Amino acid sequence: MGKLSYFQLLFTHPTEFIALAQYWLFHEPKRDITNPNEFKTSGYDRETMKKCWDFLDKTSRSFAAVIKELDGDLARAICLFYLVLRGLDTIEDDMTLSDEIKQPILRTFHHKLSLEGWTFDGCGPYEKDRQLLVEFDNVIAEMGHLDPLCREVITDICHKMEIGMADFAHRAATSKTIPYLSTITEYDLYCHYVAGLVGEGLSRLFTATEKERPWLAEQLVLSNSMGLLLQKTNILRDFREDVDERRYFWPQEIWGAYGFKRPEDLCLAVEKETNEESQALSALSHMTLNALSHCVDALDYLVLLKNQSVFNFCAIPAVMAIATLD
């Protein structure tokens, strides 16, 4: 992130900016991936991996620092895991891409991970992470340097995620009405595809690199809850921005229960301080409680971790999420 990005973060997400500032001021880094002694596991001596680390800094506000401090080769594996899923998510999020273009790319994205030289420059000019896809050949090249087991995990999770993303993107593009998520069950399923699977993949990478015990990879419910806690917090935080972009993640089952016909009406009720403001705040509280329902599982997951760098990696965003919901 450049200086302008941090300046924007101060005004758009002040609590996140404060958390990052405190981390920078008081945290002493345990590892420097640019140190030649770390090249064997960080891969920083390769131009393609150096580019990947650079993309990690540019695309992640809160994860880059803690990823770099993960032990050994786990940092590099999770860096690539993050960039693969960020590339997939960028295509799904791009509202300038037609469904006809988006569907075949999404549904075959896992194949691209072994397609040497593949890049994509079709995203809209204002899509913030489009450059990652323009230079995605660097990620593909580094996937070839990964341990085969780690590569298998990343490819498998990408395959599962792309199916869910493509299904929801197709529904949004072809709906004859405004494409709201109708039920909490649908909401949970969407969050599973875009975040719960990330939790599963991370648990599998922790064990594939032998940083955690093998049975951690089997804790699918707890792994899913870790992902849902973070995703639902982001959805709460970015509600207004998403509504302005006509992206609707809050389920109608919740906001409809308080008498609203559209998500936009919640924003209007608060901004104009209408008689419906209390109902809008009740809907917000309902969504907040829904997110908090995953806290117990998330804390139970943290108890299972034995590697300190893995614990830090999982605990820091979880604590930030809980603080946001407070």
Q: Which residue in 31, 46, 237, 262 is the catalytic one?
A: 237
Q: Which of 98, 121, 113, 115 is nearest to 161 (CA)?
A: 113
Please state the φ and ψ torsions of residue 155, each to the nearest 5 degrees: -65, -40
What is the distance between the alpha carbons of residues 188 and 290, in angstroms, rounded to a whole number?
A: 10
Q: Is 147 helix (H, G, I), strand (E, B) or coil?
A: coil
H/E run at residue 231:
helix 220-237
What is the distance between the alpha carbons of residues 226 and 222, in angstroms, rounded to a whole number?
A: 6
Residue 247 annotated to the active site:
yes
Residue 86 annotated to the active site:
no
Q: Cα–chain-centroid distance for residue 230?
A: 8
What is the distance between the alpha carbons of residues 60 and 176, in angstroms, rounded to a whole number?
A: 35
Q: Which residue in 44, 190, 249, 301 is the catalytic one?
A: 190
Place of tokens 């595809």: 193
User: Which residues are identified as catalytic?
Assistant: 190, 237, 247, 313
